[in-house]
Each structure stands twice: as C-alpha cells, then as structure tokens.
Amino acid sequence: MGGVAAHSEAGGAPSARAAMPQRARLQVWFLTVCGCILIWTCLVQLLVPGRLWPHAWGWNTARLFLGIAEAGSRSAHPPLAPPPPLPPLRNYTSNGYLKVSCNGGLNQMRAAICDMVTVARLLNLTLVIPELDKQSFWADPSNFDDLFDVKHFIDSLKDEVHITKRLPKKISGKASSNLLRMRPVSWSDEKYYLQQILPLFNKSNVIHFNKTDARLANNLPIHLQKLRCHVNYHALKFTPQLEALGNRLVQILQKRGFFIALHLRYEMDMLAFSGCTHGCSKEEAEELKSLRYAYPWWREKEIDSVAKRLQGFCPLTPEETTLVLEALGFDKDTEIYIASGEIYGGEKRLSTLRAAFPKLVRKEMLLDPEDLRQFQNHSSQMAALDYMVSLASDVFIPTYDGNMAKVVEGHRRYLGFRKTISLDRRKLVELLDLQNNKTLSWDDFATSVRQVLEKSIGQPTCRRVVAGKPKEEDYFYSNPQECLTNANECPMPHKSSSVK
C-alpha cells in the first residue's frame, strides 16, 4: 500500500506541473481568437461597400461632418417652419397699375416677382401678371402661366394685393399716353418707392418697370419681409405639369437612397459672362470671349481670369468639385444629381467627376425623353425641375453663389434648415492649388477643406448687414431670417416703419 501510495504521489507531481502550462496555453489561444475576431470585425466595417473611401476618410466622415444620424439612410428633415403670419385683411382703392418685365433666369425672375408684389402692396397698386424675360441668353419663350399656377398665385394673394391678368381695355387703349416706362433704382428701400415712385401715379395710371433685378433692398420692415416670404414659398407654385414631373424625379432619386443635388454652374453663359477660363483650352477661352462680346448688356469684356479665380469669383470646375466632394468624405456610391443646364465641354468635361462618382445622374437619364419633350427649349421650365429636386435633396451643393444657389439655399432654410454646403471658393481655390502642386498632403487638404466649410452647411445664422453696400451684405432670399424659426435670435436689420 505504501509503495502504491508513494508511486501515486511521485507520479502526481509531474501531472500537476503539466496542467498549469496547458491552462496558460488555453488562455493565450482564447485571447488570440478574440483578437482575431475583433480585427476581422473592424476590417469588415471598413470594407463594407459605400463605407471605404479611396483616401481612407469614408462616408462616415461626410456623415459626421453633415450631422447625419445614420450612414446610408435618409435622416428626417426638421419640421417645416410655419407659414409667416400675414398682415390683416386689406381693402384698398388702387392708386394705379404696375406692369413689370422680369429679366434674367428662373431664380432671378422669381425673386423679382416677390419684390414687385411687395412694391405693389406698399404703394396700394394693382399688379399685372409679370412678363418673363424672352431676350436673354437662353431665349426662353415661356410665359408666366407656363411656369407658375396663375390661379393659385392670384388667390393666395387676394387679401394682400390686387392682381390682374392684363390691363383693362379702357386703360390699355390709352396706355401710350398714360404709361410710364422706367427702371427703379437698384437696392431701394420702402422710402424710395413711397417718396419717388408713388407720386408718379398722379400723372400716369400705369407704370411699367422694364428691369426688376435687385430693385428692392435686402432689409425692409418686418411685415414687408414676411410678405416676400409668403409670395416666394406659398404663392409661387409651379404648374401642375411641372409639379408632377418634378415630384416623379424626386421619388425616383429618393427610392435609391441618400442623394446630393449638385448645382454645377459650369455652363457656357456663366463662363462667358464671368470670364472664368481656368482649365479651358485656348480655343475654348476664345469662344467664351467672343460670346461675351456678342452680348452688349454684359458690360465687362476684358477679364483677368486668373485674378478673378483667386478672388473666389469663378465657379469651381468639375475637376475641382471632385476633389472637394472627396475631401468631404463622399464616396463612389454617393448618388449625385446634376442640377444644371448643359455643362460646357459636355460629357468629356465630366469624366473626372464621373470616374470618382459613377452614380452621377441628370434628369435626362432618369426620365423618358417623351416626358421632357414639352419642356425642352424652355430653359426656365427645365430649371424648375432642377429647383424641385434641389429642394428635396438630402444635401444641396452649389459650385457658384448665383441666383439659383441663393434662392434654393433660402428656401431650404425655410423648410427647416436642410443641409446646404456653401463653398468658400476663395479659400478652396488656395487649398486646391496647394494640393495640386503637391505642397499639401491629401490628409491635410481634406482636413483643411472640412475646417473651411464646417460653419457653412445651412445652420441657422443671422443675415450680415453692410450699411450702404447691399452687394456686400447677405442676400435676403438666401437667408430670410425674419421668416425663420431663429428670427428672435437675430437683431432686426431694419427699424420699425410707419408704413401702413
């Protein structure tokens, strides 16, 4: 027994010693497996389609930059701002008739119509349905009723302004002697119209404003500002045909998921007018210059394209736009709708942008040609479709701060501060050139781009006022703060007025 016991004790010691290293090996094995699982999980997350961006920032960077809750999904837009309260019902004796001929493209005319309704209300006039521009670069023959729902326009403003489709026969018959044609002074406030324009109706019962762009100041008494908003966001409704087609475009895009509306203002008229030829060949630059000389009302003829670009006065090129979008973290699976007319240089000029973002679409690619046939050769009607898509997009990005960029930005603010990325082109051009010259690494470039734009994504802000310099201050229609939910946070740029 003793021998057996002794043998067991002698044999048990090595077994106990062997068991301890085995447990250690199990622990090491367990930790190794857990580590592998963790690493594999991280790799899967990075490599999921739509999350990995060529320069290792990824869609998550864009999502965080824009404050979008969940990658790949459409975040609910904030609740709509309530319609601005309007002044009490007004019954008035008309002081005369106001005829207006709008000039410019869709959005310049849209803002002008809002201004002219406001002038008619201020002066107790009867407004004749505005005439649209048919003489500009686009040569669009569209009339008001081709773009807007006339009945809705008149009915929605009947308690504010008398509106008629045409001058009465008894007035139009003697219009030649009673009609005064004139251009109001640009950026004029209500005092100019009350003191300079209203007395003219003592001699003429019809005044025809033959230019309407920027004829009203950015800052007016609050009741006039709210009327401008009411006209813009409620009274000016596109025709049922345009609304139906625009809504179909929006539905097609929304079914595909998150999408950007890119207002790529790299169009022939803009490049010719601005004199911006960066990236163009010599032949293209000459073509644009010739076009500029062909239009006498484009006053500036000899333009230093390089200086203008460095000052931030040129639209970004498609190639520059590609780099900015990538720096913001948008990847190749991002759906991008081009809300623009024909791009100068055509599909060839879009090759870099399309290579980086294959899901680049236009209305002509999403709709049947027959659907667009009635709107072709009518640039304002085609622009109306882009306007509706831009309003509904998850993010709106204009590459130039022209009329569409400003008016859409303001409308998106009114609809609950929807995301709009306003590009600081002067700072971006400086960064783009540094990156292009290899003096700024990609990571530093991407970080700098986001820093430049982090406060320019449509957040509530107060309109910047520059006394006596209306062209340098913020445009009313890009930030109609008096009509927005943050109105109480901003100082009123215009003192209370006694206008009734």
Beta carbons within 10 angstroms of residue 191's beta carbon: 11
Cα(405)–Cα(455) distance, integer angstroms: 17
Nearest Cα neighbor of 100 from 161, 19, 59, 156 is: 161
Residue 52 is predicted with a pLDDT of 33
194-220: average pLDDT: 95
Cα 206–chain centre separation: 37
Cα–Cα separations (whole angstroms), residue 447 to 18, 333, 431, 444, 453:
56, 21, 11, 5, 10
Q: What are the tens digits of pLDDT across the range 12-51?
A: 444 444 444 565 565 656 666 666 666 665 554 444 433 3
Give the pLDDT mean for 163-184.
Answer: 82
Range in 290-294, 352-356, 413-417 with the lowest mean pLDDT: 290-294
Axis crossing angle, helix 106-123 with helix 403-414, rounded to the nearest 10: 60
Q: Is the pLDDT of residue 54 over 60?
A: no
Residue-level pLDDT at 10: 38
End-to-end Cα, the chain, rounded Å? 121
The pLDDT of residue 300 is 85
5, two tokens:
């016991």
From CA 233, how far away is CA 486, in angstroms rounded?
17
d(CA 443, CA 97): 61
CA gap 112, 212 in Å, rounded: 6
* Of residues 390, 318, 303, the one with CA closest to residue 353: 318
Query: Among 45-49, 191-195, 365-369, whose mean pLDDT is lowest?
Result: 45-49
Distance in angstroms (rounded) separating the CA atoms of residues 19 and 350? 69
**pLDDT, tens only, 239-263:** 999 999 999 999 999 999 999 999 9
Beta pairing, strands 97-100 & 395-398: unpaired
How large a percentage of the chain has pLDDT more than 70?
79
Q: Which residue has the tokens 């090129």?
A: 317
Q: Each residue of 62-95: pLDDT tens digit?
A: 666 676 655 444 545 555 556 556 545 578 899 9
pLDDT at 301: 87
Sign of the CA dihedral 387, 388, 391, 397? negative
Does pLDDT of 391 surpass 70? yes
Whether the per-residue pLDDT at 145 is higher than 70: the answer is yes
Predicted confidence at residue 134, as pLDDT, reads 86
Helix and strand counts by DSSP (H, E) for the chain: 22, 9
Query: How far apart (Å, rounded) are the C-alpha atoms in residues 229 and 218?
Result: 12
Q: Which of 393, 326, 399 is closest to 357 using CA atoms?
A: 326
For 421-477, how does the pLDDT look when each residue is reduced to its tens digit (9 = 90+)? 999 999 999 999 999 999 999 999 999 999 999 989 989 999 999 988 998 999 999
Alpha helices in 276-317 (DSSP H): 282-294, 305-310
Among 168-182, 320-334, 346-360, which is the least confidently predicted range?
168-182
Beta strands in 134-218 (DSSP E): 162-164, 179-182, 206-209
Average pLDDT for 104-109: 94
Q: Say what the pLDDT of residue 367 is.
A: 95
What gap in Å lies between CA 206 and CA 99, rounded to an integer? Answer: 7
**Strand-pair partners of 228:** none
What's the pLDDT at 173? 63
Token pair of 277, please? 């030829």
**Residue-level pLDDT at 35:** 65
Dihedral Cα 5, 8, 13, 15, nearest 10 deg: -160
The confidence score (pLDDT) of residue 296 equals: 82
**What single string gives the DSSP state of each residue in 450-497?**
HHHHTT-SS---PPP--TT-TTTSPPGGG--GGGSTTGGGS--SS---
| DSSP single-letter state for residue 414 | H
Higher pLDDT, 7 or 429: 429
- Least confident window among 69-73, 92-96, 298-302, 366-370: 69-73
Report CA-CA distances (Å) from 313 to 174, 288, 303, 381: 47, 16, 12, 27
For residues 473 and 463, is the Cβ–Cβ distance under 8 A? yes
DSSP secondary structure of 209-242: ES--TT-B-S---HHHHHHHHHIIIII--B-HHH
3-class state of residue 395 by DSSP: strand
Indicate if the pLDDT at residue 5 is higher than 70: no
Q: Check whether 343 has a pLDDT greater than 50.
A: yes
pLDDT at 140: 87
In whole angstroms, give the CA distance from residue 180 to residue 191.
20
For residues 153 and 125, what is the distance between their CA atoms, to the nearest angstrom? 16
Instruction: Give the Cα separation of 370 and 248 in Å (integer).
Output: 14
